[in-house]
Structure 1
Amino acid sequence: MEPRQQGLLETEPLQELDEEMVSEVDLNHSITDEEREEMNNELIKLEEEIVTLKQVLASKEKQHAELKQKLGITALSELRHNFSRSWYDMQTSTAYKKTTETLSTAGQKTTAAFSSLGTAISRKFGDMRNSPSFKSFEEKVENTVSNIKSKVGGNSGGSFEEVLSSAAHASAQDTPTNNLTEDSERTC
């Protein structure tokens, strides 16, 4: 005997198990000629109804297209309407509302966090400025500036802010034209 093949065509004859399975299937699904005739008639009726429904649908689709054309409804306007409707539906959805609320809450918390961070930094700078170390540094700078001013011939005294302001003003007045004049004097 040849080995049994897989698929539709088998080379071996039916075995006893196969014969039992076929007989069970035939017994369970046997249809009388009368039932078969009735089923065929019902199938024909269904096919005729399907054809009729397709014709009615085609007629309705044609009528639909003509009415849309008369009303001036274009594919673009329909698309725009569908998009607007979808956008509205999305905005009114529970998920969208929850997401919006969550993002709003997160934004408020972030704003509060940055605000408290800014307050904390300002407080720390204030604390630092009032610290003995900074006061000592400020006094030393003021003394040094006073000494320099007195040696150069300027007014002595003034607060730390005034000294810094005058130093910034002096450096702003040092323009490139003064540097060019100095360079030209050196080359002569």
Structure 2
Amino acid sequence: MEPRQQGLLDNEALKEVDEDMVSEVDLNNMITDEEREEMQNELTKLEEEIATLKQVLDSKEKRHSDLKEKLGITPLGELRHNFSKNWNDVQSSTAYKKTSETLSTAGQKTTVAFSNLGTAISRKFGDMRNSPSFKSFEEKVETTVSSIKSKVGGTGGAGSFEEVLSSAANASAQNTPSNNVTESSENTC
């Protein structure tokens, strides 16, 4: 095997030379000293202008708040005013008007639907009350109430359902333990 000759076409030699040249070139240092000095002066002037503008802005903001204070404008008052203005803007928008109309229509339809539902339920309860099974149930309740009433000590006559419940409640109130104690203590005297 012949030893390899190094020459211009050798890749490794080219890589080393390229890397050395790139490291020697400073791309950031392509400005002259005069240009650098001008840029430094401009930067200094801009920083001074920014500081001046900040002072002017601070002064204007202080004057602004002093005037508001003298006029009686409070942050809460401003908030109310902004809210009121924004609310008026919202109410005058077409989207709000369309939504309001849609909700109004939906509310009316819902009211009618509930009214119809209430009427239907009332009719069904009326039909149910007139049904033979409900009549039979009602008679059994009246008979039971009459028998309870006669056992409690009331009259045997049947009254309305409300009267029977009222008399049953009165009868049970008379038989409470505190009343029994009072009665027994009266009997012993």
TM-score, normalised relative to structure 2: 0.49
TM-score, normalised relative to structure 1: 0.49
